[in-house]
Amino acid sequence: MYRVAVIKGDGIGIEVTEAAMEVINTVTDKIEFVEFEGGFEIFKRYRVPIREEDLEEIKKMDAVLFGATSTPFDVPNYKSLIITLRKELDLYANLRIIPDLWNEREIYIVRENSEGLYSGVYRSTDERTIDFRVITREGAERIARFAINLAKEKGKKITFVHKANVLMGDKFFRKIVLSLAEREGVEVREKIIDSFTIELVRNPWSQGIILTENLFGDILSDLAAIHAKSIGIVPSGNYGDDIALFEPIHGTAPDIAGKGIANPIGAILSGAMLLDYLNLNGQIIWEAVKSYVRKGNLTPDLGGTAMTEDVVEGIIGEIEYRIDPWEWDEVWVDEIRINFIPTLFTK
């Protein structure tokens, strides 16, 4: 049995996380979900985005499933919940898979998730504020190793995106990435971040594993999400050495929250990544989602008229069919019998 912490968060985070849990429960009974509260509402009560005792509990879990939280940037001393969790759980590698669900191809982005401009180190006076863009040898090595392992597993090369022509930190980062990759026999192409943005627009599917520092990765992954047709279908995993957290990359979408039309696929695929992390069958979810989107009705962000629950039901049907096609057939036959046979005999 695995214990998975769940933080649904705000807005559509709640709906899509519930959808993901339902789908996971169809695939396996080996997961026990334990729910925790976090985000702005908790901050208003306790002055922290998550309670210390909850954080300690979460650290003992096998993984975390996260929805989305809203982060107001005009509230003094408020710190984003997801940034806090990445730091507290030391989730240093952020893998975002931007899928083309219709054509069997994807963009992989590995974003360094713990340092760079997100180090949290700054100096502020009345006259100026400096954010430190921290790159350490340990930080560079562990993210390089993560990308190299992924490149080997997927049989791909690495595209390392940087600004080493200007930034000292990236010069340092670059040397570490190149030497580790060479030692491991993985090919690395180098790209400068500014011109790479154009390449990512024009030629997104053949970049191998895109590896980059924290803020570049933040921006590039939102840009790349355009190729998925909706940011609502993009999943991600935040990995540390002891635990990992899975979340769709979209936000809380307050404009559609509670209307039942949020696209649950990003959260559901994050569930697939979670199952893979626990060595359970995440692949079956990927297959089910691909099969569903090619024939089923989609949510409005993808031009359809489906509700969240229609998509969830459709994907669950695809999973059940894959788990046991015979049982699935019988259910289908029973329904027909229930619907039609009585009318035949009552005539």
Alpha carbons 331 and 314: distance in angstroms, whole number: 15
* Distance in angstroms (rounded) separating the CA atoms of residues 36 and 30: 20
CB of 155 to ligand 48Y, least distance (A): 27
Give the residue with the Cβ less far from ligand 48Y, 49 or 317.
49
**How deeply is 197 buried, as exposed, middle or buried, from its count of CB atoms within 10 A (0-12, 13-18, 19+)?**
middle
Beta-ladder partners of 123: 130
Q: At its nearest, how many Å lie between ligand 48Y and the CB of residue 71?
A: 3
Contact 89, 239 (CB under 8 A): no
Terminal Cα distance for the chain, rounded:
53
Q: How far is the CB of 49 from ligand 48Y (least distance, A)?
A: 9
CB 142 to ligand 48Y: min, Å: 18
Nearer to ligand 48Y, 118 or 292 (CB): 118
Position with the least CB separation from ligand 48Y: 80
| Nearest CB to ligand 48Y, comparing residues 80 and 308 | 80
Rounded to a whole number of angstroms, the minimum distance from the CB of residue 319 to ligand 48Y is: 28
Please, which residues bridge with residue 4 across strands? 33, 63
| Cβ atoms of 235 and 249 closer than 8 Å | yes
* Binding positions for ligand 48Y, rule: CB under 6 A: 71, 80, 82-83, 218
CB of 70 to ligand 48Y, least distance (A): 8
- The residue among 80 and 263 lying less far from ligand 48Y, judged by its C-beta, is 80
CB-nearer residue toward ligand 48Y: 79 or 142: 79
CB-CB contact of 303 with 102 (8 Å): no
| Pairing of β 31-35 and β 2-9 | parallel
Nearer to ligand 48Y, 71 or 207 (CB): 71
Question: Based on CB atoms, which residue is closest to ligand 48Y, 27 or 245?
Answer: 245
Residue nearer to ligand 48Y on the CB measure, 226 or 341: 226
Q: Which residues of 255-283 are buried (b: 16+ CB within 10 A; e: fewer)?
A: ebbeeebbbbbbbbbbbbbbbbbbebbbe
Give dist(CA 262, CA 252) in Å, integer.
10
SS (H, E, C) 58-72: HHCCCEEEEEECCCC
Q: Tell the residue number behind the tokens 């339902």, with chain if given.
A: 22
The region that residue 254 occupies, defined by phi over 0 for left and psi between -120 and 50 for alpha, beta otherwise, is alpha
